[in-house]
Amino acid sequence: MPTETPESSFDELTRGLASGTLSRGRALRLMGAAVVGGTLASLGIGEAAAAPRGCKREGKNCKRDTQCCSGNCSGGKCAACPSAQVLCNGSCVSTSCSQGQIFDPASCACVAQCLQNGSFGCTLGTPCCSGTCNPTGFCCNELGGSCTADNQCCSNECDTDGTCCSVEGCTDDSDCCRSRPFCVELALGKRCLEL
């Protein structure tokens, strides 16, 4: 017996009611099928969640990966993506990435994983998401960068206004923290001082 889709159930119901040739029991079954099918479709289940037109589902015969909805034709049958792979933009791609990289589903490729400011261990292969990787491998913001804690700043000083500042070296007053607001030229170079 062929499976009824919500559309065919509704069509048969309307034709049968219009012509008067539909039994009461059949009308109730068709109405139930149309209501249940419509509900499932609105939830993304059944025909609404079915594969796009033209591609073959898992288990169907195939000759090329592009024929399969999963993007994987294996042994002449459409199959799910192999272990450690996901379907991304119509192809099965590996999610295994080198150390310091993560899989990016938007580009379907491995990209450099970045570290948040205040984190230790940055390198060329694992850069800082923003800010600077200082020589000791610590991600930090330069003077004037935003911060919420001292360890987010290369100077290890986060001012009360949420910007990285200095209590030592400076180029002008804007580099200095409020506790030492003036950049003064001394014999050892410019330093932030409280006058």
| Residue 44 placed within a domain | yes
- Same domain for 106 and 71, yes or no, is yes
pLDDT exceeds cutoff 60 at 13: no
If one counts the domains in the chain, the total is 2
pLDDT of residue 44: 41
Residue 192: pLDDT band with limits 50, 70, 90: very high
| Residue 106 placed within a domain | yes
CA distances from 143 to 62, 87, 137, 186 (A): 60, 44, 18, 20
| Residue 86 placed within a domain | yes
Per the structure, the complete domain to which residue 45 belongs is given by 6-49
| Residue 150 placed within a domain | no
| Residue 169 placed within a domain | no
Is the distance from CB of 167 to CB of 150 less than 8 angstroms?
A: no
Residue among 106, 110, 132, 116 nearest 124 (CA)? 132
- Same domain for 45 and 69, yes or no, is no
Q: Which of 74, 92, 110 is the last residue of a domain?
A: 110
> Torsion angle of alpha carbons 131, 134, 140, 145, nearest 10°?
-60
Taking residue 59's Cβ as centre, other Cβ atoms within 10 Å add up to 11
| Residue 81 placed within a domain | yes
Kindly report, residue by residue over 60-76, the tens digit of the pLDDT. Answer: 999 998 888 888 888 99
Distance between start and end Cα atoms, the chain? 94
Is the distance from CB of 177 to CB of 167 less than 8 angstroms?
A: yes
d(CA 144, CA 106): 33
pLDDT of residue 1: 44
Is the distance from CB of 44 to CB of 37 less than 8 angstroms?
A: no
| Residue 132 placed within a domain | no
pTM: 0.42
pLDDT of residue 48: 35
Looking at residue 7, its amino acid is E
**What token pair was written down for 7?**
């559309």
pLDDT of residue 46: 43
| Residue 172 placed within a domain | no
Cα angle value 52/54/84 (rounded, 5°):
60
Q: Tell me what the mean pLDDT of segment 92-99 comes to.
A: 86
**φ, ψ of residue 7 in degrees (nearest 5):** -65, -45
